[in-house]
Structure 1
Amino acid sequence: MKRPTALILTAKYGSGHVQATSVLANNLRERNIEPIVSDLFGESYPAISTFTQSLLMKSFSTHSSFYKWFYYGTNKLNSNGLVQFSSYFGRKRLLELVFMHQPSFILLTFPLHAASSLKKKSRMSIPTYTVVTDYCLHPYWMNPFIHHYFVSTEAVKSCLLSHQVSEKRITVSGIPIRSQFETPADKQVIYEKFHLCPQRKVITILAGAFGVLKNVKELCELLIHFRTYQIVVICGKNDSLFSSLMPIAFLFPESFRLLGYIEDIHELFAISHCLITKPGGITLTEAAAMQVPLILHSPIPGQELENAAFFAENGAAFISHTTLEVVNHVQTILQNEEISNRMKSAQKYIYKRDSASVIIDHAINEMKQPAIKLV
């Protein structure tokens, strides 16, 4: 008997959508359902996709007003018109995927409206589910033909309700993250692996994410003078940043660890007393799962700023805009256990465990053979 399939539609505009897709795909495989993953826009319009990804990266790295204008400008536009316009994107490629793989359901980790458009035109009746990967909701995610929404928080659910989405079509599932972040770690082994001292507090700087952290070298030069702390900087694939920090690593071998791209980032989260990062939805969820006090540095206007505001307003993070503010927040967290514990408690309240399982369980319970109408 042929394995059932599920189609996951995503996009490469930021790593969060891709990471959530990977987690959902792995969960499907564990249920003996074959995941078919498609970067629908990239496969349909590769040149445009590459250009717009580059434009987005530049807007992040230069703090350009472009992304602010796009996010908040389109937020004020008629979302129905925007959705209607974008519903044509990738429709041909989607039909190819549907006819080829006959999926039992479709998961969206990026607001793509081709599937809903085809459903509207009665060309297919496959249940389509949207998985929101941030702690805010842009109207562009909304579509009357989405079967069900999986969201991060009650606040996002309330936003959908305010736009007349039925409560029956919304589940507060949390954001899907890798199971390693939900599993207890052997901290002693991790300290030894990274040559860190268990008696000294660890400050982790996540610098190589999609939205590159600003002023990392300046920040490290300020923090390194606190000799009772250990600093770990994760540069990801940012080779120029790694090279610029090499002199600090050479001068302070006992208190400074410089890392490139690593798979086992959850291990460092497990021993971190403070995490300095950009406020992507996935990173925030991973930190909340492991209850790591957060400093969210220079969030870009848009979902970064909205994510950061949600965590800060709920007592789960500090927001900083200058390196001196970061240093002050670090001292507050590491020197005041009561504040650190309050932040951890707030994160525990926000975090929803086993999000991927909640989402896939729901989809499987409603799973039907796809009914596709040819025209």
Structure 2
Amino acid sequence: MRNKGPKIIILTASYGNGHLQVANSLYQECIRRGYDNVKICNLYTESHPFISEVTEKLYSKSFTYGKQFYKLFYYGTDFIQNKKMLRWYYQYGFKRLTSLIETEEPDILINTFPINAVPEFRRRTGIVIPTFNIITDYCLHSLWLHDDIDKYYVASNELKAKIHSRGVTESKVVVSGIPIRPSFSQSLDKSMLFDKYQISPKKDLILLIAGAHGVLKNIKETCETLLLKTDHQLAVVCGKNHSLRNEMAQLENKYRDRLHCFGYLERIDELYRIASVMVTKPGGITLTEATATGTPLILYMPVPGQEKENARFFSEKGAALTAKNQEELLNSIDSLLKSKQKQLSLQLSIKKLYLPSSQEMIMTDILKESEKISRMKNHSTIKSQKKKLGS
């Protein structure tokens, strides 16, 4: 039986959960269209499992102990414009990628992480496979840029302008938004959600998102202070950090009517919708999810790198508050919940940043662009063959 649709490989990496989520959103969109020859490949994990495991752990530590190291890496590699100096990075995963292309013979390659082994394959071999980058933050890092990327999909006009300023043709950059789970675009009854989670609609709810790996700092201490000094309700999502979940259990038992703790939640959008304010790390996916629900944001202790740049963008847009320490966080929560006008202002500003149906727009454009590239490639091949025959 013949497979339906083009062969698509979506390449991603495990440095944070966002890249994987975007890859899965695009995969689900392909399945929705009836394409059955689509594969997600975590290239670095498949290429160098031990090195990937170590570097992923170092990345997660960058949110706590290794801030200066990550700052040096992030801004250092962004500053390097000489591609020869980054050749080591272009090599990473190249052997596995070559094997994957030889085995799968894909029609389309999509990056949800800046994997430069992909455009390097074209540069070295001359084999043209339509290649696309989905930038998963609201800021630009030069590792995303390469001459042999056919198109970029970005979250904002400002990001498009930055890429254009680096010498990329405007037509190669599409302002699409960042793909998120379709559940965020659903219309739900809030009263039903309050009942589902046994949360009172009569009191403000502070939602604290620890992140996929539970890296938000001082959660327990922050919760204790808020529970003692206010009568607000708190919902804490610990992600996959089981030790944090266990740590919060005793506090949850003490304040059972006001504190609600969760591990990983597939339908986290439901809590976004009923929260009066959300405290989180400024990851690209979490921010995009909040634009869909209009949840007022406080971005807590962003680390240097994409977090800091994402936080700066949202703050400048009036779409979030930023707190550098616990005292600032507590003051921001207090002032925000005392002012419905401030909450409304944040809601209106963040909703302006939302671009719906991103995965649909991206896949439609990718399919159209890849057909155009394939036609040009075939035309070039025929022209070359005719020239040889003529000689």
User: TM-score normalised by the shorter chain: which range applies?
Assistant: over 0.9
Partner residue of 2:89 out of 86, 92, 96: 86
Partner residue of 2:39 out of 15, 36, 52: 36
Return the alpha-carbon distance in structure 2 between the equivalents of residues 247 and 47 of structure 1.
36
1:305 lines up with 2:308 in the alignment: yes
Return the alpha-carbon distance in structure 2 between the equivalents of residues 231 and 13 of structure 1.
29
CA contact (8 A) 1:83 1:140 kept: no
Change beyond 3 A, Cα 1:6–1:239: same
- The Cα of 1:247 is off from its aligned counterpart by 2.4
Change beyond 3 A, Cα 1:79–1:334: farther
TM-score (norm 1): 0.95
Letter aligned with residue 19 of structure 1 = Q
Return the alpha-carbon distance in structure 2 between the equivalents of residues 66 and 227 of structure 1.
38
1:129 lines up with 2:100 in the alignment: no
Letter aligned with residue 16 of structure 1 = G
Structure 2: gaps spanning 5 or more residues: 382-391
Give the match's secondary structure for 1:143. Answer: coil
Return the alpha-carbon distance in structure 2 between the equivalents of residues 40 and 238 of structure 1.
25
Return the alpha-carbon distance in structure 1 between the equivalents of residues 3 and 172 of structure 2.
30
Q: Deviations over 1:311-361 (max 9, x none)?
A: 011101111012121111112221111111111111111111111111100
Letter aligned with residue 250 of structure 1 = N
CA contact (8 A) 2:214 2:238 kept: no
> What is the CA RMSD across the aligned residues, in angstroms?
1.8
Partner residue of 1:26 out of 15, 25, 28: 28
Number of positions where the alignment pairs a residue of Structure 1 with one of Structure 2: 373
Letter aligned with residue 292 of structure 2 = A
Change beyond 3 A, Cα 1:226–1:194: farther
- The Cα of 1:209 is off from its aligned counterpart by 3.0
Return the alpha-carbon distance in structure 2 between the equivalents of residues 143 and 266 of structure 1.
35
Aligned residue for 2:68? 65
Aligned residue for 2:267? 264
Report which stretch shifted further, 46-55 or 95-104.
95-104
CA contact (8 A) 2:213 2:241 kept: no
Return the alpha-carbon distance in structure 1 between the equivalents of residues 256 and 48 of structure 2.
48
Aligned residue for 1:229? 232
Change beyond 3 A, Cα 1:110–1:321: same
Return the alpha-carbon distance in structure 2 between the equivalents of residues 231 and 37 of structure 1.
36
Report which stretch shifted further, 258-267 or 98-107.
98-107
Report which stretch shifted further, 212-221 or 227-236.
227-236
Aligned residue for 2:55? 52
- The Cα of 1:261 is off from its aligned counterpart by 1.7
- By relative contact order (CA 8 Å, sep 6+), the higher-ranking structure is 1
Partner residue of 2:185 out of 174, 182, 185: 182
TM-score (norm 2): 0.91
Aligned residue for 2:80? 77
Structure 1: gaps spanning 5 or more residues: none
CA contact (8 A) 1:79 1:140 kept: no
- The Cα of 1:96 is off from its aligned counterpart by 2.2
1:365 lines up with 2:353 in the alignment: no
Change beyond 3 A, Cα 1:363–1:344: same
1:338 lines up with 2:341 in the alignment: yes
Q: Sequence identity of aligned pairs in percent?
A: 37
Change beyond 3 A, Cα 1:240–1:210: closer
Return the alpha-carbon distance in structure 1 between the equivalents of residues 150 and 34 of structure 2.
23
1:96 lines up with 2:85 in the alignment: no
Partner residue of 1:197 out of 200, 212, 217: 200
- The Cα of 1:78 is off from its aligned counterpart by 2.2
Aligned residue for 1:139? 142
Return the alpha-carbon distance in structure 1 between the equivalents of residues 54 and 315 of structure 2.
34
Return the alpha-carbon distance in structure 2 between the equivalents of residues 62 and 317 of structure 1.
25
Change beyond 3 A, Cα 1:361–1:324: same
Whose radius of gyration is greater, 1 or 2?
2
- The Cα of 1:87 is off from its aligned counterpart by 2.2
Give the match's secondary structure for 1:135. Answer: coil
Letter aligned with residue 61 of structure 2 = K
- The Cα of 1:102 is off from its aligned counterpart by 2.4
Return the alpha-carbon distance in structure 1 between the equivalents of residues 179 and 152 of structure 2.
13
Letter aligned with residue 358 of structure 1 = M
Give the match's secondary structure for 1:319. Answer: strand
Letter aligned with residue 291 of structure 1 = G
Give the match's secondary structure for 2:39. Answer: strand
